[in-house]
């Protein structure tokens, strides 16, 4: 994907159907390009959303509206897909997205304490992002590393047997 700064928002870029309000013209165009690369085919909606999320990091309603406009389908249909599949998100992620496993094995080994320590250390809630955009916190279900419970992911890196008392030291590893 081209290097466009998708995280900045500004005045409505204006598109024919009003979709894209709050996005830059280049951002709207980037979404259109992705749709066109799939021939604006409704059957490719999931692939289009994957590519769009890759480019933007997340799929807020204004981005979904552009996709819906390009594919000539109801915005509610796009919304339905985005909210159905857990790999799509409507929330912006940090440079280092943190995901705490709240699956059973991790939960009984104290993942709630990890969440509390993160919330306190970063001063944000689950689903939130730090003001500098560095960290975001999310939860997920079993990642298949129960032997390492409690588990926390930061980006692609798995942290196992996490001690809530060491959260500050772990975060310090991410510049
Ligand atoms: S429950 Fe957390 S990795 Fe399985």
What pLDDT digit, counting tens, does each position of 106-135 carry? 999 999 999 999 999 999 999 899 999 999
Mutate to test the pocket of ligand 1, among 99, 111, 138, 151 (most ligand atoms within 8 A of CB): 151
Task: Say which CATH number the domain at 25 has.
Answer: 1.10.10
> How many of the other CB atoms lie within 10 Å of CB of 46?
14
Q: What is the pLDDT of residue 91?
A: 84
Q: For ligand 1, which residues put their CB under 6 angstroms from it?
A: 101, 103-106, 142-146, 149, 151
Q: Which residue range is the domain that position 149 belongs to? A: 96-171
Closest CA relative to residue 130, chosen from 118, 141, 140, 142 = 118
Condensed to tens digits (0 to 9), the pLDDT of residues 15-74 reads: 444 566 788 899 999 999 999 999 999 999 999 999 999 898 899 999 999 999 999 999
For residue 127, give the CATH number of its domain: 3.40.30.10
Q: Whole-angstrom Cα distance, residue 174 to residue 163? A: 17
Q: Residue 134 has what pLDDT?
A: 95
At residue 18, the pLDDT reads 54
Ligand 1 atom with least separation from CA of 107: 1
Q: How many structural domains are present in the chain?
A: 2
Asked if residue 84 and residue 117 are part of one domain, the reply reads no
| 148 in the same domain as 71 | no
Same domain, 100 and 67: no
């Amino acid at each position: 994907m081209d290097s466009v700064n998708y995280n900045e928002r500004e005045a409505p870029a204006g598109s024919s159907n009003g979709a894209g309000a709050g996005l830059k013209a280049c951002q709207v165009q980037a979404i259109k390009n992705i749709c066109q690369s799939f021939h604006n085919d409704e059957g490719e909606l999931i692939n289009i959303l994957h590519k769009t999320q890759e480019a933007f990091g997340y799929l807020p309603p204004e981005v979904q509206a552009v996709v819906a406009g390009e594919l000539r389908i109801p915005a509610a249909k796009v919304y339905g897909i985005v909210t159905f599949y857990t790999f799509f998100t409507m929330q912006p992620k940090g440079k280092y997205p943190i995901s705490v496993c709240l699956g059973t094995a991790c939960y009984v080994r104290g993942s709630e304490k990890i969440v509390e320590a993160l919330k306190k250390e970063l001063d944000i809630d689950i689903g939130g992002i730090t003001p500098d955009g560095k960290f975001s916190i999310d939860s997920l279900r079993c990642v298949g590393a129960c032997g390492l419970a409690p588990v926390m992911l930061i980006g692609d890196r798995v942290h196992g047997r996490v001690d809530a008392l060491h959260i500050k030291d772990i975060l310090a590893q991410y510049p």
